[in-house]
Structure 1
Amino acid sequence: MVLSNTYRYYNIIASYNITVKTGDQKGSGTDANVYIILHGQGFQTKECKFDNFFKNDFERGEIDKFSIDSEVNISEVQRIELRRDNCETRKLELQAIQAEYQLQVKIPGLPAQVKKLPEDEKFSFHYKVNFALEGIKFKAESFKLMMTNQNKWEDVEDVKTVYTKAFGVPESSEYFNDDAQFGRQRLSSLNSLLIELCTTIPQNFGVTEDMIKPFLEGKTMKQVMDDKKLFIINLSILEDCQTKREDLVMTCPLALFYFNDSKHLMPIAIQLFQQKGPSNPVFLPSDPEYTWMSAKMWYSLADSTYHQSLTHLNYTHLMMEGISVATKRNLALPHPILKLLDPHFLYLMAINSVALVALINPDGIIDKNSNAGIEGHFYIMRKSMLFWKLDLHGTLPEDLKSRGVFDQSVLTGAYHMRDDALLLYDAIKTYVEKYVLLYYSTDSALTADYELQSWGAELVKSRDDGGVGILGVPGNGNFKTTDQLVLTLTAIIYTCSAGHAAANFQQYDEYGAPFNYPYYLSGVPLKTRFVYFMLTESPVTIATILKTIPNRDVLLQMMVVTKVLSEKATKSLGDFEKQFIVDPKAVKVVEEFRQTLRQVGKTIESRNKKREYPYDWLLPKAIPNAISI
């Protein structure tokens, strides 16, 4: 909007010339009556109506010019107040949007998605070109490698030949059968929200104190539990997960970890299946070298399957898509909460529509290159939909508390993902609190907001009845306090930005290293630790390991897709591609958020200088606003 004024002394009238440009997005235009009030220092004009005779004003993408006369002369306009008589018009506009943004459960038992991708949600031409070029480059490189080399691996060094200049060397590939690195993966890698404080050994876990005593630095099991140094991960959700083929295996392991005096999290026991017994042994670091390595790899197979199906796909991409559709359906374009959330939904529906075609479909990349196959992934995802809650699993501090690892006196100096993520969560929450209080200074203003309450109702409405079906929305979607709204909005923005970044951008560095983070394994796990006493099994050797990991073809396909998915394609958190927030007070809140993020970045950089193994993945500049890749 451009404004100028001319003061005519002879009849004491000020004439204001105002130029208005209406946005070019679908739904931006309006047929409502629009009014303006100009504010100066201590005085203001009367409300004036924008209207050009015989012209349809405020059409999408158009520029309109208006001349308004007033008896008040304002030499310096400090604030502009706009209003439209939008009650009926706004409802009609929302009805049109709801017809375009419809919810549909495309995969039975999974989150609701948009039925058909709206025009406004499609990738920009620039984004599509860059995305396609990245994929073509890596596909061409992998094709060249497959044509010039045999599919089987000769030795460990042969695996490294796939790391050409175009791909780069995955960070995790620099380690081989390294227990400390295996522990770091649980704390600062793709799947760092599984570790739990161990206060008792589950009955179905066959580990005993005698087994792990050699790895506790002279302490008893009770002592390490009392000192909060014993940890467990239980991947029971993978039990009974089907596989792509009958000759493939999917584990559902339990693993025990000890946080030693050197502040390294070390694996000390792994059981690969849930039911303990003679044919389901507990593997230990004291086992033969490649027996122990094999156990860690079969554990990592389950971990990577959990990561891809739940941590990455279900809990960020799909859960947030349903929320984004409900947001567009229920909050009109001028609504302050839509303006707050919309930058964090950029390209989300578009990238998910691509994934449905190429990644999460029968015979797609996941189906062909994982043990679980796509139906196995869907099985795990359906299980998670029965218990995942926004106010617990989707709210970082509550999730950490539920696992006994919120307090930074636990895993001190090693749980980098937690420590950095909490800084970001707090920054986002403070930003949301300030913003919300600008528009809802009282709880009654919150309950009176029909659009907001309709949004909350659709979030919790059963997917069978056409809703999003999110569990754990505060107030069951009936927002009565600002705290309830702030928690909900913070969880959404955190998940779409920092949560997705933590689950996504290390993918190439992990999946590109088949010894450390396999997504596909051939053969079967050992059924006994002491294979040299058994006639039915052979000792595990490096040759066994090389036959177990994915062959060249499968590994290169995973490298291509994870390399593309690991590329940051949009602007950093707080630097919005689309700036919908224009209210001066709200703009100030946004700028304060940006300043806080800059300080968070400095804090993380300072931490990294002191860390033995720096963690760069949650630097604010490395986090996009939205799930756009």
Structure 2
Amino acid sequence: MVTYEVKIKTGDKKRAGTDANVTLVLLGGDGKVTKPLALDNWLWNDFERGQLDVFTCQDDADIPDVTDIKLRRDTSGLFSDWYVEKIEVTNQKSGVTSVFPILRWVRPDVDLYFGKYDTYLPQSDPRPEQRNEELQRKRALYDYTEKTPGLPVQIKTLPEDEMFTSAVKFDLLLKKYMFKAEKAGQMLFGGTAWETLEDLTEVYSSLFGIPKDMKDWKSDINFGWQRLNSVNPNVIRLCTEIPEKFGVTEEMIKPFLEGLTMSQVIVNRRLFIVDLEILDGIHTADGFICPIPIALFFTDGLGQLKPLAIQLFQQKGPDNPVFLPSDPPYTWLLAKMWYNVADSNYHQAITHLGNTHLIMEGFCIAANRCLSPTHPMFKLLAPHFLFIIAINNHALNVLVSPGGWIDKTLAIGSTGVLELAKKGVRTWRMDCEGNYPEWIKSRGLFSKDGSILPTFYQRDDSLTLYEAIRNYVTKYVNLYYDSSDKLLNDEEIQNFGREVSTPKPEGGCGVLGVPFENGKFSCPDQLILVLTSVIFTSSVVHAAANFAQYDAYGFPPNYPFKLNGAPPKTTNPLKEGDILKYLMDKSTTLDTMTITKILSERGTNALGDFEVNYTYDPPAVQIVDNFRKELKEISVKIHERNKTLERKYEYLLPEEIPNSISI
């Protein structure tokens, strides 16, 4: 008689626990099989949600190394549904422990088989019928729809598995900060209207914390920093010529070029431009204006980016002046504030909502539809899809809905946000925007020696992290596809590529630039690009766009979502009192502080520290461990760099980057 110790971890999901009767059969590679082992600890409530249960079982069959298990439950009890995370079996005689990641709902009255580590390509799975039946059930649950025409596909009906605690977390955070807001409100509304710009600073330190940008918000150095290291560094590009529609002249900007000519700064790659023409024609909220600016920037001798000129609308003309740093101080300050209205609205609609949240949801749905939980590539991707469907559903129903936070606080309102997001995602390509090094090169911002924009720390950290993720994915993919034939014969991964690249009217995600040529992934490098893009976008890109929000927007004059009145049409001198008239009321200020504080909170574990462990195959586990080591090394280097900086860039420290888009 041999004793086996069986450990079963029930998942931490709603209704994951079961009252059903459970049996387990152990199988060995030599053909030995135990009798069905009834798993029940006397006078103990087994298999509760999130619980680890340990059972001691005996059987005549001595299986030194358990290679497979057969799991079965019935429908007994009040609650029979059961989600199992993991089963471990140890032969007490041999001392060998076998691990079986389940990560599934166990269907009733069906024998379900799992192999050790449960990691197979479909063509090598010993039980293809069970695998295919499971995939059919998932395809029915994860169905696409275009909820808003022109936006990426989303889930048709939210599966129960995706109804997560992230909505709960968001609501808890909302309650937490609304409580603080009530206290702030007593301070805000108990007094008179803003008398000076400094009055607003008094509500921060003890309640919400001080936004980092607040200290130096008026300066040109801060404004240049925002273009590179705040929420939206995705629109600046190298300037090689001045557009005809831009009314700036060399004579205007000559005093700010440190003795150089415009030709010299262009040749030396020190001139940069932002053109937010994409905002043209976008709906705006009643009574509000969103500029459509063009702005010019220069890298000074210290490597700092500074603004040279701002034109708030597209076509030059007498009522659309070019604002310069030499203008009266409050006039120049107001021009920068109006520019930031446009930039902040672009950021929320395209950089944040469209190009991370919505585009990545399609990949999540496709992975669940096409890849078995047993597939090694599903195990690679799954940690980076955690909560994305739920948070998107919650955000669109709460934040972007008519009358929601976006409607109340942004110049373009919820209608404009959706219009703008459509414009942005229409041109997103996996081989450009989804391939960070190529995205940087396409904008003329890449240099091996770091001479272009030397203070562009967000770019530098992103490139380093992209390479680390690409290296991780390359090793992982090559482990399972050590020949092109294995990739070509993998029907599941080929279906995944087909669904993400097929146009939306034909039933796919419609993602452009996917290297899925002639209807297939023909080599591992193509798959590596796709998987790297998904993981990088879901972690690094989203972190860069999301977690600087309170520091940028928490002090609204620094980076306003909207302003009262209309942008100035002259460069006439203004006073501080004139600036105050443009600021939103105290209620809107409080809403902005509250929501951006919530959005800046981390929702999941740090990159590489997965909430749920999907990978147990020993060679793959080693690859994951090496990835974690590389992330730690990157963190050390960023900390060392930051020691030398007066203003640190910390948003892309690996320990600060969540695995997934969860808030």
- Distance in structure 1 (CA, Å) of the matches to 2:588 and 2:526: 46
Corresponding residue of 1:11: none
Matching of residues 22-171 of structure 1 within 5 Å:
24=11, 37=28, 45-48=29-32, 52=36, 67=59, 69=61, 75=94, 77=96, 82=116, 85-124=126-165, 130-147=169-186, 148-149=189-190, 152-171=193-212
Corresponding residue of 1:42: none
- Distance in structure 2 (CA, Å) of the matches to 1:18 and 1:54: 13
- Give a deviation string over 1:255-308, Cα, whole Å, max 9, x none: 110000021101001111112222222111111111111111111011101111
- Distance in structure 1 (CA, Å) of the matches to 2:34 and 2:593: 57
The answer to whether structure 1 residue 422 and structure 2 residue 463 are counterparts is yes
The answer to whether structure 1 residue 198 and structure 2 residue 239 are counterparts is yes
8 Å CA contact 2:214–2:555 kept in 1: the answer is yes
- Distance in structure 2 (CA, Å) of the matches to 1:238 and 1:151: 36
Q: CA shift at 1:253, angstroms?
A: 0.8
- Distance in structure 1 (CA, Å) of the matches to 2:482 and 2:416: 48
What count of residue pairs does the alignment treat as equivalent? 595
- Give a deviation string over 1:348-389, Cα, whole Å, max 9, x none: 111112112210111110011111011111111111232110
The answer to whether structure 1 residue 315 and structure 2 residue 355 are counterparts is yes
8 Å CA contact 2:497–2:521 kept in 1: the answer is yes
Matching of residues 377-392 of structure 1 within 5 Å:
377-392=417-432
8 Å CA contact 1:397–1:422 kept in 2: the answer is yes
Corresponding residue of 2:512: 471
- Distance in structure 1 (CA, Å) of the matches to 2:167 and 2:392: 14
1:505 to 508, 532, 547: 547
Corresponding residue of 1:177: 218
Single out whichever of 182-191 and 464-473 deviates more from structure 2: 464-473
8 Å CA contact 2:383–2:612 kept in 1: the answer is yes
Q: CA shift at 1:143, angstroms?
A: 3.2
Q: Which runs of 5+ in 2 are unaligned?
A: 40-46, 66-92, 100-114, 119-124
- Distance in structure 2 (CA, Å) of the matches to 1:79 and 1:19: 10
- Distance in structure 2 (CA, Å) of the matches to 1:485 and 1:409: 30
- Give a deviation string over 1:296-324, Cα, whole Å, max 9, x none: 11110111011111111111111111111
SS of structure 2 residue aligned to 1:385:
helix
1:517 to 549, 555, 559: 559
SS of structure 2 residue aligned to 1:280:
coil
Q: CA shift at 1:411, angstroms?
A: 3.3
Q: CA shift at 1:213, angstroms?
A: 0.7
1:276 to 293, 316, 322: 316
8 Å CA contact 2:184–2:207 kept in 1: the answer is no
Structure 1 residues 427 and 400: alpha-carbon distance in aligned structure 2, compared to 1, 3 A threshold? same
8 Å CA contact 1:48–1:68 kept in 2: the answer is no
The answer to whether structure 1 residue 250 and structure 2 residue 284 are counterparts is no
SS of structure 2 residue aligned to 1:352:
helix
- Give a deviation string over 1:399-456, Cα, whole Å, max 9, x none: 0000111215333530110111111111111111111111110111111111111111
8 Å CA contact 1:34–1:85 kept in 2: the answer is no
Amino acid of the structure 2 residue aligned with 1:610:
T
8 Å CA contact 1:153–1:551 kept in 2: the answer is no
Percent of counterpart pairs with the same letter? 44
Matching of residues 530-569 of structure 1 within 5 Å:
531=572, 539-569=573-603
- Give a deviation string over 1:570-596, Cα, whole Å, max 9, x none: 211111000010001100101000100
2:501 to 460, 485, 489: 460
Q: Which runs of 5+ in 1 are unaligned?
A: 1-5, 7-14, 38-44, 532-538
Corresponding residue of 1:351: 391
Q: CA shift at 1:460, angstroms?
A: 1.3
Structure 1 residues 254 and 151: alpha-carbon distance in aligned structure 2, compared to 1, 3 A threshold? farther
Corresponding residue of 2:649: 615
- Distance in structure 2 (CA, Å) of the matches to 1:49 and 1:461: 46
Structure 1 residues 277 and 116: alpha-carbon distance in aligned structure 2, compared to 1, 3 A threshold? same
- Distance in structure 1 (CA, Å) of the matches to 2:509 and 2:627: 29
8 Å CA contact 2:457–2:649 kept in 1: the answer is yes
- Give a deviation string over 1:65-100, Cα, whole Å, max 9, x none: 685847989956598864764222211111111111
1:582 to 613, 616, 619: 616
- Distance in structure 1 (CA, Å) of the matches to 2:247 and 2:25: 72
Amino acid of the structure 1 residue aligned with 2:509:
V
8 Å CA contact 2:310–2:324 kept in 1: the answer is yes
Q: CA shift at 1:130, angstroms?
A: 4.7
- Distance in structure 1 (CA, Å) of the matches to 2:606 and 2:63: 47
Corresponding residue of 1:406: 446
1:266 to 294, 302, 306: 306
Structure 1 residues 53 and 464: alpha-carbon distance in aligned structure 2, compared to 1, 3 A threshold? same
Corresponding residue of 1:604: 638
Matching of residues 196-345 of structure 1 within 5 Å:
196-245=237-286, 247-345=287-385
- Distance in structure 1 (CA, Å) of the matches to 2:558 and 2:635: 29
Amino acid of the structure 1 residue aligned with 2:553:
Y
- Distance in structure 1 (CA, Å) of the matches to 2:390 and 2:372: 21
- Give a deviation string over 1:519-545, Cα, whole Å, max 9, x none: 01111112233x3xxxxxxx4321121
- Give a deviation string over 1:135-178, Cα, whole Å, max 9, x none: 11221332343354357322112211331512111111112420
8 Å CA contact 2:409–2:588 kept in 1: the answer is yes
Corresponding residue of 2:81: none
Q: CA shift at 1:60, angstroms?
A: 12
TM-score normalised by L of structure 2 = 0.84
- Distance in structure 1 (CA, Å) of the matches to 2:637 and 2:32: 50
SS of structure 1 residue aligned to 2:516:
helix
8 Å CA contact 1:508–1:562 kept in 2: the answer is yes
- Distance in structure 2 (CA, Å) of the matches to 1:604 and 1:71: 50
SS of structure 2 residue aligned to 1:474:
coil
8 Å CA contact 2:295–2:307 kept in 1: the answer is yes
8 Å CA contact 1:28–1:333 kept in 2: the answer is no
2:400 to 355, 360, 366: 360
- Give a deviation string over 1:207-237, Cα, whole Å, max 9, x none: 1111111110010011111111111111111
CA RMSD in angstroms comes to 2.9
Amino acid of the structure 1 residue aligned with 2:612:
K
- Distance in structure 1 (CA, Å) of the matches to 2:322 and 2:428: 30
Structure 1 residues 239 and 49: alpha-carbon distance in aligned structure 2, compared to 1, 3 A threshold? farther
8 Å CA contact 1:514–1:555 kept in 2: the answer is yes
Corresponding residue of 1:495: 537
Structure 1 residues 92 and 256: alpha-carbon distance in aligned structure 2, compared to 1, 3 A threshold? same
Amino acid of the structure 1 residue aligned with 2:171:
A
SS of structure 2 residue aligned to 1:467:
coil
2:478 to 401, 418, 437: 437
- Distance in structure 2 (CA, Å) of the matches to 1:140 and 1:503: 26
8 Å CA contact 1:309–1:378 kept in 2: the answer is yes
Single out whichever of 476-485 and 76-85 deviates more from structure 2: 76-85
